[in-house]
Every structure is written in structure tokens, then in C-alpha cells.
Amino acid sequence: MESKQERKQAKILGCPVDLLDFDGALNLTYKNVEEKAGMQIVTINPEMTEIARKNAEFHNILNNADLVIPDGVGIKIALKIKGINRQNIPGIEFSKKLIEYCAQNGYSIALLGAKEEILQKAKENLIKEFENLNICYARNGYFTESEEDKIKSEMQEANPCVAFFALGAPKQEILISKFKKDMPSTVFIGVGGSFDVWSGVVQRAPELYQKLGLEWLYRTIKEPKRFKRIFPALPMFLIRVIIESVFHKKG
Ligand code: UDP
């Protein structure tokens, strides 16, 4: 794996973002899967930087992640404010490519998260799409803290090459950081609401919204309760980034 010193990173509000493009991030991940080197991948968005501001454990996990990819237009704009032009890497597309790679090369995967019927539907759809896909472990995301050790043992037993955690942030990143200590050769990635989309229950925004970087707007219109969560955070996020880039030019 690339050593920490070789990594090209930017800092957004104290959170790292790796400056790789889509293919660069995928190639690094493929290499880690092949070498059984294990890693934690975070797909970062503005909401996560806000969580990190208030939650030191989560902030520390971001700092120790092996790959932090910019997911969403908010991070793209923040990088631009710092004078860095970077492609947005939607975590859901990145994960799909990773699944395709696993299916084609005989690497097993685990799915952890979402409601049971969503998980089953997502699993079914993925197997339909990638016929050689080996899903060696799948479990819904509704469990208590006391069940975590049992789930970890079950997953360890299944020994997936890549594990997708769809529990939302920061829950998925915190759980990954606990599991990876005992599963050092597995590549872990937090994928938020991706299983909902793969199940077919939730639609991704039409391509035009995706191209304009307005997927968040579409999801907010479809699911208005997201408005309260996302909207006040975004302008505040950009204001903080502007202040940060004025006062810490090097970022
Ligand atoms: N979820 C879960 N367990 C929990 C809380 C949430 O499995 O205890 C799942 C939820 O069902 C959904 C996903 O986590 O599938 C989070 O989706 P959300 O859209 O909130 O995540 P985002 O993509 O915005 O990070």
C-alpha cells in the first residue's frame, strides 16, 4: 500500500481527503484486495466533516483511514475554494465498480446494513447483475451493541475480501474501525444508503441531477425529512471552508 507520506491529501475543516481521481482510487483499492493488505475506505461528505467537528473518535477514524474519497458536490466545491480541481467520486458508483471487480476476479464480499428486506433484495439484484459474485456474508443493520462481537465473529469466519457497511455515518465507520483490527486482510468501505438504491426501493436521482451535482437536492425533494439534516449544514460548511482557506492558506 502507498505509505502515508506518499499520499497526496487536502484537509477540509481538519478532515483528510485523498487527491486521487476515480481510477486512481479504484486501482489502489484493487491492489489492496489482491495483496490482502486490508484497508478502511471512507467516502466523505460535508455532513461527515460536521460530525467530525463534534466527535473526536470519528475524527480520529478519518485521520487513520487508508483512503478518504470525496463524495458529493459539497466536498468538490470545498476543494475548489482551496484551489484544487478534483473529480467527484460517488461512493455508490465506486462501490459498484468494486463489486464488479470482485465478481470478475473471484473475491468474496460481505454486506452489512439496511433493513432485512432491503438487504435481501439488494443481494438478489447484485447476484442477478454479477453472476459469479460470491456474497459470503450478509446481515441487516439493525442490532444492539451487545450483538457486535457475535457479528464480527460470524464475519471473520466468512472471511470476505471486501466488506460493505451500510449503516450511515458515523456508525459504519466506527464499526469498521472495530472490526478491522481482527480482520486485517479485509478491505472495508462505508456505503451509507447504497443498499437502499441497489434493492430498487430508493431511486438514484436522474442523470441530469447527477451531472449538475444536485443529487442531494433530488433526494431532499423525494425525502423531505432529509432537508432538516442536510440543508442548514451545507451553507455553514462552505462558510467554514472559506474562513479556513483565508486563514490557513496552505490548507
Ligand atoms: N441503517 C442501518 N442501521 C442503523 C441505522 C441505519 O442499517 O442502525 C441503514 C439504513 O437502513 C440505510 C442506511 O443505514 O440503509 C443509511 O442511509 P442514509 O441514507 O441515512 O445514509 P447516507 O447515504 O445519507 O449516509
pLDDT per position as a tens digit, 56-91: 999 999 999 999 999 988 999 999 999 999 988 999
Task: Please work out, in degrees rounded to the nearest 5, the angle formed at the alpha carbon of residue 229 by the alpha carbons of 224 and 230.
Answer: 85
Supply 94's cell numbers: 465506486
Report the atom number in ligand 1 closest to the C-alpha of 113. Answer: 7
Per-residue confidence (pLDDT) for residue 249, from 0 to 100: 59
Ligand 1 pocket residues where CB is under 6 Å:
113-115, 141-142, 166-169, 171, 192-193, 195-196
Nearest ligand 1 atom to the CA of 169 is: 25
Spell out the residues 6+ positions from residue 173 whose beta carbon is closer than 8 angstroms to its own.
40, 42, 58, 61, 62, 65, 190
pLDDT at 230: 66
Atom of ligand 1 minimally distant from the CA of 91: 23
Question: What percent of the chain stands above pLDDT 70?
Answer: 96
Confidence of residue 251 (pLDDT cuts 50, 70, 90): very low
Q: What nine digits make up the cell of 47? A: 455532513
- Residue with the smallest CA separation from ligand 1 atom 18 is 193
Give the distance (Å) from ligand 1 centre to CA of residue 117.
14
For the stretch 116-130, pLDDT in tens is: 999 999 999 999 999
Q: pTM to 2 decimals? A: 0.92
Cα of 225 vs centre of ligand 1, distance in Å, is 14
Tens of pLDDT, residue by residue over 201-242, are 987 888 888 878 788 778 778 777 777 766 677 888 999 999
87 or 171, higher pLDDT: 171
Question: What is the per-residue pLDDT for 73?
Answer: 87
Which residue puts its alpha carbon closest to atom 19 of ligand 1? 193
Of all protein residues, the one whose alpha carbon is nearest to atom 20 of ligand 1 is: 168
